[in-house]
Amino acid sequence: MVFVKGKSGNPNGRAKTPAELKDCTPTEMRLLIWKLWKYDKFQLKNLLERENAQMGELMIASVIAKAVKMGDPVRLEALMSRLVGKVKDVVELEGNMTFQLPTREEALQSLAEDYAVTPAIEGVKDEDLA
């Protein structure tokens, strides 16, 4: 396909969201994912082949099937984030804690020792970066 100035590469626009998913609440979506998540591979296959299956069921079932078949972590993460929500990193500190950050030179030296690498910007001082 050759680029033509002034002509859209996607003349039909983005695909429309199916009506049944447009009105679907997050809770309903989680329930549907959870229901299909518990299916075994034969139930998923039967659902995907069923003529009267709903669009939402088909879409989620196909994502689950591909995630399992291909071991796709992106699809798996998308499904899990819909089920349990995004995991947040939480760090709780109690009491007075102090620590000393290493200087840039100390950090570079430690990296060089640990990984046997030479710092890429050797000779550049912290004040040069400020």
* DSSP annotation string for 103-114: PHHHHHHHHHHH
Amino acid (1-letter code) at residue 108: L
- Rounded to whole angstroms, the Cα distance separating 50 from 87 reads 35
pLDDT of residue 130: 46
Token duo for residue 62: 């196909």
- Rounded to whole angstroms, the Cα distance separating 39 from 76 reads 15
**Residue 12 covered by a domain:** no
Summary mean pLDDT of the chain: 76
**Residue 61 covered by a domain:** yes
Contact 79, 37 (CB under 8 A): yes
Task: Give the percent of the chain with pLDDT over 70.
Answer: 75
**Residue 25 covered by a domain:** yes
Calculate mean pLDDT across residues 85-110: 74
**Residue 98 covered by a domain:** no
Model pTM?
A: 0.49
pLDDT of residue 18: 67
**Residue 26 covered by a domain:** yes
Calculate mean pLDDT across residues 101-122: 64
Contact 79, 63 (CB under 8 A): yes
**Residue 119 covered by a domain:** no
Number of compact structural domains in the chain: 1
Range(s) of the domain holding residue 43 = 19-84
Contact 61, 44 (CB under 8 A): yes
pLDDT digits (tens, 9 = 90+) for 12-45: 877 776 666 677 777 888 888 888 888 888 999 9
Calculate mean pLDDT across residues 79-105: 75
